[in-house]
Structure 1
Amino acid sequence: MKLNCVVVDDSTIQRITIAKLVNEHPDLTLVGDFSNASEARNCILNKSVDLLFLDIEMPVQSGFDLLDGLKTRPQIIFVSSKSDYALKAFDYAAVDYLHKPVTKDRFNKAAQKAIDMQQLKKDGPEEEGEFIFVKSNLKNFKIFITKIRWVEAFGDYIKINTDEETHLVLSTMKSFENELPEDKFLRVHKSYIINIDKVDRFNSKFAEIGSTKIPLSRNKKEDLANALNKNQ
C-alpha cells in the first residue's frame, strides 16, 4: 500500500527537499508539488490524494485557508519553520507537525504515522461504515460516524459523545463539523452538533437523544424537522 502525496510550500528549496524525501520513501508516491494553495487545491480535488505535506505561511492563502476550503481532507502533516501554529494544527487533526529544516529521520517517523493510520482505515470492519480519527489524551482514536450521538463545545475543546464513550478533543466546533457528513449531522446550536439518526423526539426548544435534552437555537426546529423527514 502506497500513499499518494502532495507537497505544498512557497519555498522552492523546502518544497524540493520534502518532495525528494517523498520520492525516496518506499511507501509514498509523489503526485504533485505546488508553491501555492490554489494549485494544490485543484490537484486534491481532481486526483486521489492520501497525504498532504503542508506549509502554513504562504502568500495569498495560508495552509489553514487551503484546508478550510476542502470538504474532504487527506491526512495532513504540517511543515513549518515556526512552532507557534502547533496548537492550531490540532484543530485540523494533523498526523504530525514537522519543524524546518526537516531531517530524514524525523520525516520518516511522521510518514510512518500516516501509513499506520491509513492501514487502520483499510482494516476497519466494513459493517461499521465510515469513521474518523481524533486525538484525545495524546492518543489517536478511531470513531465510527454512525456511533456519534452528539458533539458539544467544551471551552477550547469539543466533547464527542458516542454510543459507548466520550472523547475530549482539542478542536473547534466549525473544524469538526467539516469532518462530518452534512446529510447525517446538524448544527442545532452554537455549542451542539447532533446525529440526526439519534434524535428520539424534539420540540421548539430541545432535541432529545435518550435522556439528554439538547437546546435548539432559534429557527433550528424547522431545519431539524426537514432533516428528519429526508432521513425517513
Structure 2
Amino acid sequence: MQEKYSAVVIDDERLARQRLIRLLNKFDNVEVVGEAFDVSSAKRIIENLTPDIIFLDIQMPKQSGFDLLEQLSFEGRIVFVSAYDNFALKAFDVNAFDYMVKPVREDRIEKMLERLSKSEGSNISNQRFNYEDKIFISDNKFMKFVNLKEIILIQSTGNYSKIFIQNGEKHLLYRPLKDWENRLPSNKFCRIHRTCIVNIDYVEKLEKWFNYSFRVYIAGFEAPVMMSKTYSSVLRNRFS
C-alpha cells in the first residue's frame, strides 16, 4: 500500500499557496490538511495537525520561515519553497529535505515525492539522523538548533532525557531514550547503560570496574559514567 503523507502549505501569498495546493492535490500520496499565511498561524496549525511534511516559504512579513522553525518542535520533513535560490545553503543547514524554487513545476514535486518515498520507507519520522545534521530542541527555557556532533551524552529520566552539549549546556526534553537510540547514527552514538547514550567521539578511556562493568571517561566530564555488563561488548569492540 502506498504511503500517504499529510502536508501543510505555508506562504504569505494567497495565489502561490493555492497554486501549490492544486499541484499537490494531483498526487494520490499527498493530502494537504492545512494552510497558513504567516508564522503564528503556521505554528498553531502544525502543532494541532502534526503533518508529515511542511512546504514552507522563507520570506514572509514580520517573521521568516527560519523564524518559524526556531519556535517549533517538528520531526517531519521540511520542504522550502522560495522565489530565490540564495537561501538554499542555509535551508540545508537546518536539515531541510528539499528546496524548490518558484514557480514550482509538477514534475519537480513528483521527483521530490519519489525521493521521499525511497528514503523514508513506511514511517516518515523514523529515519536516522546524519552526524552532520542540526536538530531542533525545545525545553522550558530554550528553543534552538544544535549540531548533532556537539551532543556529548544523553541521560534518561523516565520519559524525559537530559542532553549534555559540548559548550556546557544541558537541556531536559520530553523524549524517552529509546527514541534517541532509534534516530541517532549508530556508528557515532552508543548505548552504554539503560539510562545513558554516549557520543563515542568524546570517549577518552574505559576502566574495568566491578562485575564486568566499566567506567567510561568522557571529555568535559570530571566524573566517569557507568557502563553496564549488558552493553559493554558494543563499546569495547569499538575500542579494540
Q: Which amino acid aligns with 1:133?
A: F
- Correspondence for 1:175: 145
Q: Which amino acid aligns with 1:5?
A: A
- Correspondence for 1:215: 220
Please give the TM-score of this superposition, normalised by the length of structure 2: 0.60
> 1:183–1:24: structure 2 CA closer, same or farther, 3 Å change rule?
same
In 1, the alpha carbon distance for the partners of 2:205 and 2:121 equals 33
Q: Which amino acid aligns with 2:56?
A: L
Contact 1:184/1:197, CA 8 A, preserved across alignment? no
CA shift, 1:185, in A, is 2.6
- Correspondence for 2:58: 56
Please give the TM-score of this superposition, normalised by the length of structure 1: 0.62
CA RMSD across the alignment: 3.7
Q: Secondary structure at the match of 2:55?
A: strand
Q: Deviations over 1:17-50 (max 9, x none)?
A: 1111111111000101111111111111111300
1:31 to 33, 41, 45: 33
Query: In percent, how many aligned pairs have the same letter?
Result: 30
> 1:184–1:172: structure 2 CA closer, same or farther, 3 Å change rule?
closer
> 1:71–1:170: structure 2 CA closer, same or farther, 3 Å change rule?
closer
- Correspondence for 2:164: 186
- Correspondence for 1:132: 128
> 1:172–1:3: structure 2 CA closer, same or farther, 3 Å change rule?
closer
> 1:81–1:183: structure 2 CA closer, same or farther, 3 Å change rule?
same
Q: Secondary structure at the match of 1:215?
A: coil
Q: 5+ residue gaps in structure 2?
A: 137-143, 155-159, 172-188, 207-215, 226-240
- Correspondence for 2:46: 44
> 1:170–1:4: structure 2 CA closer, same or farther, 3 Å change rule?
closer
The structure that has the greater radius of gyration is 2
Q: 5+ residue gaps in structure 1?
A: 125-129, 135-159, 161-168, 201-205, 226-232
CA shift, 1:112, in A, is 2.3
- Correspondence for 2:72: 70
- Correspondence for 1:156: none
CA shift, 1:67, in A, is 1.0
Contact 1:67/1:73, CA 8 A, preserved across alignment? no
